[in-house]
Amino acid sequence: MRTAVFVGLLILIVFAPYAPGDENFRYDPKNKRDPFRPLVDKDGNILPELRAVTANVELTLEGIVWSRSGDSYAIVGGSVVRAGDILGDYKVKNIEKTRVILERGGEESVINLRGEEE
């Protein structure tokens, strides 16, 4: 009995590194931040959150808390954002008193508060 257990453990130890399936594993973050990606680069700079380009984001501007000092916040599609934040595949470029300027692929998009015109 002891010999069979010993041989079984020996086989397991020898052949465990060759188990199939592990080399093809790919983590699916399900449209959330991948916890295996670093938050900062090698110089300590904060990296923008990486999301799939296909991420759907509702671009409805619900409110703005504006400050002259530049520490402004906006509620876009239920998310609280500030300048520099990533929202889906958009980057929040600027928050003004009545509108938010977003950037995607080098193109700017402007969303206004309801009832506000340029």
pLDDT the model gives residue 7: 80
pLDDT, tens digit, 9 for 90 and up, residues 17-74? 666 655 666 767 666 666 777 777 788 776 665 444 445 667 889 999 998 887 899 9
pLDDT, tens digit, 9 for 90 and up, residues 72-91? 999 998 889 999 988 888 89
pLDDT the model gives residue 30: 67
Could you state, in order of their start, the residue ranges of all structural domains in the chain?
Answer: 61-112
Assigned token pair, 17: 């590194």
Tell me how many degrees the CA angle 118-60-69 measures, rounded to the nearest 5: 65
CA distance linking residue 65 with residue 72, whole number of Å: 6
